[in-house]
Amino acid sequence: MLQIDFTKDLPEETRCECCQKLIPALDWGIGRCGPSEWMGICVVKCVKCNWVKIAAAGSDEQAHKQASYLRLKLIVQMGL
C-alpha cells in the first residue's frame, strides 16, 4: 500500500466531545509498519476547553494493533 492511499482515508477534522467546537486540520504522524503497511497517531487538543484525544489508525489489523499500542504508551506517558 502507498502512503497516499492510507492517508486519504484519515479524518481531517473532528469535533470536541466536550464543547462541540470544530477542530480542523488534524496533524497525523505517519510511519511504516512492516514493508508495505502504515500506521498513524494523531493528538488532538481543543483550544477552547483543553479536551484531549489521541487517535490511532492502521492500514491493516497488525498496523492498527501497533498504532493502538503506541497510543496507549503515549497516554500513559502523558498521564491522561
Question: Nine-digit cell at 65?
Answer: 494493533
pLDDT digits (tens, 9 = 90+) for 52-72: 999 999 999 999 999 999 999
DSSP state string for 15-35:
E-TTT--EE-S---EEEEETT
> Residue 79: what pLDDT?
84
> Residue 44: what pLDDT?
95
Tell me the pairing of strands 22-23 and 29-33. Answer: unpaired
Architecture of the CATH domain 3-75: Single Sheet (2.20)
Identity of the residue numbered 41: I
pTM of the model as a whole: 0.85
Q: How confident is the model at residue 1 (pLDDT cuts 50, 70, 90)?
A: confident
How many whole angstroms separate alpha carbon 46 and alpha carbon 58? 24
Tell me the pairing of strands 22-23 and 37-45. Answer: unpaired
Average pLDDT over residues 17-22: 96
Residue 65 is given by DSSP the state H
Percent of the chain past pLDDT 90, that is, above it, reads: 94
**pLDDT of residue 80 exceeding 80:** no
Indicate the average pLDDT of the chain. 95
Helix (H) or strand (E) holding 53: strand 52-58
